[in-house]
Amino acid sequence: MVSGGGSNLGAILDAQECGRLSHARVVLVIANKPGIGALGRAAERHIESRVIPAEDEAGLLQALGDNRIELLLLAGYMRRLGGKTVERYRGRLLNIHPALLPRHGGPGMFGLRVHRAVLEAGESESGCTVHEVDEELDHGRVLAQARVPVLPGDAPEALAARVLKEEHRLYPAVIDEFALRWRQRVQEGVGS
Ligand code: GRF
């Protein structure tokens, strides 16, 4: 699920094409609004996409069900998910956040604001976090983090670019590992 440029989506699709995503396959890209870069990336790779406004939870659940979606991945999705979606996908719903949670997450912490907050706090390092999604923003179980240094004189944009590079490496790797575990659990009869 996407709301923006979709560079993380691009990294996931690159991993898929290069065989680094062997336990999952992206079958549907959902955007909450039309005209965003992420939809262009999906189209270029011939991945099916849908635009579903965040308010239309019934439509979202229908699309997820129709496409038999097992893992739901947020990749720069800027809207809160409805409670029914969180409930249905609990334990198989992931997000990536551009900071080392639990630091610098929660309401208002998105885009360059995150990196400004990191710099203002005088942190010596930042990074990104892949976590499970629950009802609270940027709060679910942390699955993995990657760290980058904060350099003297860093501008938010420079820090954002350094973190984003790590996001593109971390997220596909975590998704693949998570999908493998999910598959094993389904085979054992859990969550089916
Ligand atoms: C990333 O920084 C991600 O951590 C955050 O939103 C941004 C999305 O960027 N959740 P992109 O659309 O994947 O380029």
Instruction: Please state the φ and ψ torsions of residue 136, each to the nearest 5 degrees.
Output: -95, 140
> From the alpha carbon of 128, which atom of ligand 1 is closest?
4
For CA atoms 77, 80, 86, 90, the dihedral sign is positive
> From the alpha carbon of 8, which atom of ligand 1 is closest?
13
Top mutation candidate among 2, 7, 78, 131 for ligand 1, by most atoms within 8 Å of CB: 7
Catalytic residue among 23, 97, 104, 115: 97
What's residue 189's pLDDT?
87
Per-position pLDDT tens, the chain of length 192: 999 999 999 999 999 999 999 999 999 999 999 999 999 999 999 999 999 999 999 999 999 999 999 999 999 999 999 999 999 999 999 999 999 999 999 999 999 999 999 999 999 999 999 999 999 999 999 999 999 999 999 999 999 999 999 999 999 999 999 999 999 999 998 655
Cis peptide bond upstream of 172, omega within 30: no
Contact by Cβ (8 Å): 172, 21:
yes
- Which residues pair with residue 75 across a beta bridge? none
**Ligand 1 centre from 66 Cα, in Å?**
26
> From the alpha carbon of 9, which atom of ligand 1 is closest?
13
**Ligand 1 centre from 75 Cα, in Å?**
6
Q: Counting beta carbons within 10 angstroms of the beta carbon of residue 69, is it exposed (0 to 12), middle (13 to 18) or buried (19 or more)?
A: middle
Q: Which residue has the tokens 């992206």?
A: 26
Give pTM, 2 decimals. Answer: 0.96
What's residue 191's pLDDT?
53
